[in-house]
Amino acid sequence: MPTHTSAPVATRTHRRPHDAPDTAAAFERLAHVDDGPERELLAEEIVEAWLPMAHRIARRFRDKGESTEDLQQVAAMGLVKAVNHYEPARGAFESYAVPTITGELRRHFRDRMWDVRVPRRIQELRTRVRRARFELLDQPGSSPQPSIPALARQADLTEDEVRDGITALDSYSATSLDAQLTSGGPDGFSLADTLGVTDPGFDLVTDREAAREGLQHLPSRERTILYLSFFEGLTQSRIAERFGISQMQVSRLITKSCATVRAHALRGADGVRISR
């Protein structure tokens, strides 16, 4: 192919909206250049000329949690895609590039900012299922809730893939635990009200197991006193009457026994082996 000397890609002799570069001639040349270094260089020059526009579009998304640098890189990727697929016969490049770059940025947030992260394949299934649902709903006499087989036929998917896509439809955004599941009022409740709570009995089992080691190191009388006090609910005075000792002695025995049990429980929690 004969070589040619290209003029500067971007000229600003004619002012355009937002100082847009005039690259019409460059695109005409690009359309007649085969793949290779010359085409790559020409495309790179066009991209560089339009890069300020891509950065302006990226700044529109700067309040969505991504850094400006990352957004500009995504916008540049969209610009490259627009340059490579643009056909001059279809109109002005800017009219084609703006939605292409914007779409690339939106796809970036779709892929990176889901509340519940799902694989890309599932995201694509979600899109196809949603499109198939809209198409079916537009048909005369259609059901307000298309069936899975109908969606599968419309989207050219298997029924399992449709189910995965439907699941992804509910995974795009997370529901707040404060979300009301009823209309409110005195009988209303939120999503958090439907969630289970930890059974306090689990802590009781753990405490009993921790106390078991210490109880085995107590004399029989002290174990009985603890049992009568904590499990039978007897007062210290009644326990004192049963053993023929004073209430003060019962109080001291309970305090001392509890300290012994606690010490063995803490030793066990620290990983010190206690013989059974």
Place of tokens 């700044």: 59
What is the full per-residue pLDDT of the chain (276 aa) written as tens digits? 444 444 445 444 343 445 678 888 888 888 888 888 888 888 899 999 999 999 999 988 877 666 788 888 889 999 999 998 888 887 888 888 999 999 888 888 776 655 556 677 877 888 788 888 888 887 777 777 889 999 999 999 999 999 888 877 666 555 556 666 555 555 566 656 666 555 555 555 666 666 777 788 888 888 899 888 887 888 888 899 988 899 899 999 998 888 888 887 777 555 444 333
58: exposed, middle or buried (Cβ count in 10 Å: 0-12, 13-18, 19+): buried
Which helix (H) or strand (E) segment is 22 a member of?
none
Amino acid type, 131: R
DSSP per-residue letters across 156-208: T--HHHHHHHHHHHTTSSPPPTT-BSS--STT--BGGGGS----HHHHHHHHH
Ramachandran region, residue 174 (left: φ > 0; alpha: ψ -120 to 50; beta: rest): beta
Q: Residues 236-273: pLDDT tens digits? A: 888 999 888 998 999 999 988 888 888 877 775 554 44
For residues 190 and 180, the answer to whether their CB atoms sit within 8 Å is: yes
Please give the model's pTM, rounded to 2 decimal places.
0.39
